[in-house]
Amino acid sequence: MGIRVWLPYHSLEKAEAALGPLPEGIDADFFLADGDVPDSVGEVEFYVAPYMYRAEDAMAFADQMASLKYVQIQSAGFDDFLPLMPPGVKLLNAAGVHDAATAEMAVSLALTANRFLDRYARNMSQGLWKADFAVSLADRHCLIVGYGHIGKAIAARLAGFEVSSVTAVASRARDEDGVYVHGFEELADLLPAAEVVFLSCPLTPQTEGLFSAELIAAMKPGALLVNVARGKVVDTDALLAALLDGRIRAALDVTEPEPLPPDHPLWHAPSVYITPHCGGQADSFYPRSRKLIAEQLRRLAAGEPLLNQVAEG
């Protein structure tokens, strides 16, 4: 008997079409969180949680998974799975899978807000031909808060826009591949010079509420805050107050709360553009996710350490 795994496909045929032949020693069942639970619920050791399902739904049967050792999720963010992990079970995230899509979204949000693309899209419905003098990404001083996989991908894409500078910030100061990365404790000193601030950090106890009223007040007047991290990284009330005062602008793929209720004042605040947490939802996800799952199965069968462990229950 091999290592029992659950994969998010309808059948072995579909799994092998996506991943290639499964390694010898891997016995797979298939679960998409919207159908019958496989009979092997007590035997599964490695579980790939289906993408775009609530963590509570994906982990609804965790108390029956007596042999579970690993949960592989297909998102970079993992905060919603943390409280659901059974003791001793390792949580693996999808670091690297969403870099391209999320970095594209971050730069797209900045371009949309700076070049008034949302305004022009609304004008189309009225047949209104009206141009405005916009703000360019070129010559802007940019700050990236969270210099992991996604932060580095944002920096790589900004290089083609002739920005004046890119300053990296992360949980701890360090030199990394020739880039000096500042620590979070330096944000208050760095924000007054930043014209576009990208948030791409994970949600952790250290980053929850990181962009407080104090840090938002330290931002350069007229600066753009682009959030592709998590809504809870930013104090929503402080952000709303700054938007209503006209001090800063914002382009948000994530909010707190989420989904944002239809009557929430953030929808109608000036100088804000909101998308529904869709940064990672692009077709670049599929080949990268398949590559990660296939590599994890190979490692599992070979007895090698698995990639991307972020927590243990």
- Catalytic pick among 98, 149, 182, 277: 277
Q: Among 96, 100, 98, 118, which residue's Cα sits nearest to residue 109? A: 118
Beta pairing partners, 5:
28, 46
Under 8 Å between Cβ of 200 and 150 = yes
* Run of H or E including 112: helix 99-114
117-124 and 99-114 helices cross at what angle (nearest 10)? 70
* Run of H or E including 224: strand 224-227
| Distance between CA atoms of residues 18 and 105, nearest Å | 26
Under 8 Å between Cβ of 21 and 44 = no
The residue behind tokens 């079409």 is 17
Greatest Cα pair distance, the chain, in angstroms, is: 69
DSSP 235-294: -HHHHHHHHHTTS-EEEES--SSSSPPTT-GGGGSTTEEE--S-TT-STTHHHHHHHHHH
CA dihedral 251, 257, 263, 269 (to 10 degrees): -30
Catalytic residue list contains 277 = yes
CA dihedral 107, 108, 111, 116 (to 10 degrees): -160
Helix (H, G, I), strand (E, B) or coil at 228: coil
Q: Among 226, 247, 192, 256, which residue's Cα sits nearest to residue 112? A: 226
| Distance between CA atoms of residues 33 and 58, nearest Å | 6
Residues with catalytic roles? 277
